[in-house]
Amino acid sequence: MIDFLIIGGGIAGLSAGARLSEHGSVTVLEAEDALGYHASGRSAALFEEGYGPPSVVALNKASAEFFFSNDYLTPRGLMLLAKSDQADQFRKDLGELGMAEISVPDALARVPVLNPETVAYAALSEGAYDIDTDRVLQDFARTIRANAGSVLTRQKVTRIRKDGHWLVEAAEAFQARTIVNAAGAWADEVARMAGIAPLGITPRRRSMARLPAPWGHDVKNWPMMLGAGETWYAKPDAGKLLVSPSEADPVEPHDAYADDMVLAEGLARYEEMVTSPVTRVETNWAGLRSFAPDGTLVLGPDPSDESFVWSAGQGGYGFQTAPAASRLVADLALGRAPELDAAMVSALSVSRLR
Ligand SMILES: Cc1cc2nc3c(=O)[nH]c(=O)nc-3n(C[C@H](O)[C@H](O)[C@H](O)COP(=O)(O)OP(=O)(O)OC[C@H]3O[C@@H](n4cnc5c(N)ncnc54)[C@H](O)[C@@H]3O)c2cc1C
CA of 9 to the centre of ligand 1 (A): 9
**Residue 98: is it exposed, middle or buried by C-beta count within 10 angstroms (0-12/13-18/19+)?**
middle
pLDDT digits (tens, 9 = 90+) for 207-251: 999 999 999 999 999 999 999 999 999 999 999 999 999 999 999
pLDDT for residue 211: 97
Asked if residue 13 has its Cβ within 6 Å of ligand 1, the reply is yes
Residue 100 parent element (H or E):
strand 100-102
* pLDDT band of 105, cuts 50, 70, 90: very high
What does the pLDDT read at residue 80?
98
| Measured distance CA(303)–CA(88) in Å, rounded | 42
CA angle (129 as vertex; 69, 6 as ends), nearest 5: 65
The closest-lying atom of ligand 1 relative to the alpha carbon of residue 38 is: 30
Mean pLDDT of the region 22-49: 98
What local confidence, expressed as pLDDT, does residue 151 receive?
Answer: 98
DSSP string, 309-335: EEEE--TT-TTTTHHHHHHHHHHHHTT
Does ligand 1 have an atom closer than 6 angstroms to the CB of 156? yes
| Contact (CB, 8 A) for 172 and 155 | yes
Average pLDDT over every residue of 123-146: 97
Q: Given this model, what pLDDT does residue 328 score?
A: 98
Please write the tens of the pLDDT for every residue from 151-209.
999 999 999 999 999 999 999 999 999 999 999 999 999 999 999 999 999 999 999 99
**Residue 340 per-residue DSSP state:** S
| CB 219 less than 6 A from any atom of ligand 1 | no
- Going by alpha carbons, the residue nearest to atom 12 of ligand 1 is 317
Q: Is 42 in the pocket of ligand 1 (CB under 6 A)?
A: yes
Whether residue 183 has its Cβ less than 6 Å from ligand 1: yes
Cα separation of the two ends of the chain: 30
What pLDDT is attached to residue 59? Answer: 98
Q: How many CA atoms lie within 13 A of 330 on its CB side?
A: 22
Q: How far is the CA of 244 from the centre of ligand 1 (A)?
A: 17
Tell me if 137 CB under 6 Å of ligand 1: no
18 lines ligand 1 (CB under 6 A): no
Atom nearest to 156 CA in ligand 1: 42
Percent of the chain with pLDDT over 70: 100
- For residue 31, give the DSSP letter: S
Average pLDDT over residues 15-34: 98
Top mutation candidate among 6, 14, 29, 30 for ligand 1, by most atoms within 8 Å of CB = 30
This prediction has a pTM of: 0.97
| Residue whose CA lies nearest to ligand 1 atom number 13 | 316
Binding site membership of 316 for ligand 1 (Cβ less than 6 Å): yes
Which residues have C-beta within 8 Å of that of residue 324, sequence separation ≥ 6? 58, 59, 60, 61, 62, 63, 66, 340
Pocket of ligand 1 contains residue 233 by CB under 6 Å:
no
Q: What is the pLDDT of residue 287?
A: 98
Question: How much is the mean pLDDT over the chain?
Answer: 97
